[in-house]
Amino acid sequence: MSTILSLNNISKRYGIVQALDGVSFDIPSGSVYGILGPNGSGKTTMLGIVTDVLKADAGSFTLMGQTPSAAQRRKIGTLLETPNFYHYLSAYKNLQIVANIKQTSEQDIPRVLELAGLTARQHSAFKTYSLGMKQRLAIAAAMLGDPEVLILDEPANGLDPVGIAEVRNLIRQLAQSGKTIIMASHLLDEVEKVCTHVAILRKGKLLGSGPVNAVLSRDNFIEIGGPDNQALSQLIKQHPAFVQVLPAQDGILQVTFRETIDPASLNSWCAQQGVWLNHLQMSRKSLETAFLELTNN
């Protein structure tokens, strides 16, 4: 699998703020790569450096295995921060400018406008658009020329729930067609549903990068409940594979084991100890929990 983007020791400082501190990682071709991190963690700064609107203080990067240049950027569809368009021009005319800069055919404009649901308003001036429509136009601009690589910085910004679902579906479809998508987001739900890989940033430092499950370890746990949860809590600690027990909502216990536990055997083990379970469910730690654990440490 070839590498689309390779960052090597990138650092960037704004006055006293170290926005990025020696960040290195590779983005493989065909992956949906989530760049995660709290606000101000350096996500947009990193993407700004990759798109040449910001200059790194140190370090280097390659795009598609080559020294970065405008020619490579023309092959990447990018939505960075806010949608930036000429306010006095219509959506169509703005996309004409983008198509000409990308040196791609203007004939693709109707397709991307349709994709973004803006066909009916394509001749209205950008300044008359709502926030959601502006974001849709930015997504349309990124899709222009059907690029193999997309950089999307908070793509769901300003969209209503329907719009968010549409963008998520669009990203899924694009990923299925083999495109590489680099997506910065703080909406973990969004990332959990579409990303294959993640890089986690906190205060400019890279906490980890790679396949989602390798970076954010999300051990399976089992939710159990019985007539007397206090007694059950004492009992479960005696299980040979027991690691920890935490109280969950509604008096349910959340139990983590050293190894994968078969629910049937656990049920049987409890029954043998004289406790009959009335709740038993396999669960997985949410990405949000795993992310918070990682970024708070």
Interatomic CA distance for residues 251 and 234, integer angstroms: 14
Q: Of these, 7, 31, 63, 102, which contacts another protein (CB under 8 A)?
A: 102
Q: Minimum CB separation from another protein for residue 6, in Å?
A: 19
Cα distances (angstroms) measured from residue 81 to each of 46, 48, 144, 221: 12, 9, 18, 37
**146 lies in the binding site for another protein (CB under 8 A):** no
- 150 lies in the site for another protein, by CB under 8 A: no
Does residue 78 bind another protein (CB under 8 A)?
yes
* Closer Cβ to another protein, 20 or 270, answer by number: 20
Neighbouring C-beta atoms of residue 126, cutoff 10 Å:
19
Closest CA to 221 of 266, 190, 191: 266
Binding of another protein at residue 141 (CB under 8 A)? yes
Q: Map the footprint of another protein across residues 57-76, applying CB under 8 A.
A: 69-71, 73-74
C-beta neighbour count of 87 within 10 angstroms: 10
Looking at beta carbons only, is 43 or 73 nearer to another protein? Answer: 73
- Whole-angstrom Cα Rg for the chain: 24
At 227 the three-state DSSP class reads coil
Q: Is residue 89 a contact residue for another protein (CB under 8 A)? A: yes
Residue number with CB closer to another protein (78 or 135): 78
Q: Which amino acid is at 282?
A: M
Residues that bind another protein (CB under 8 A): 48, 51-55, 69-71, 73-74, 78, 80, 82, 84-89, 93, 96-98, 100-103, 141
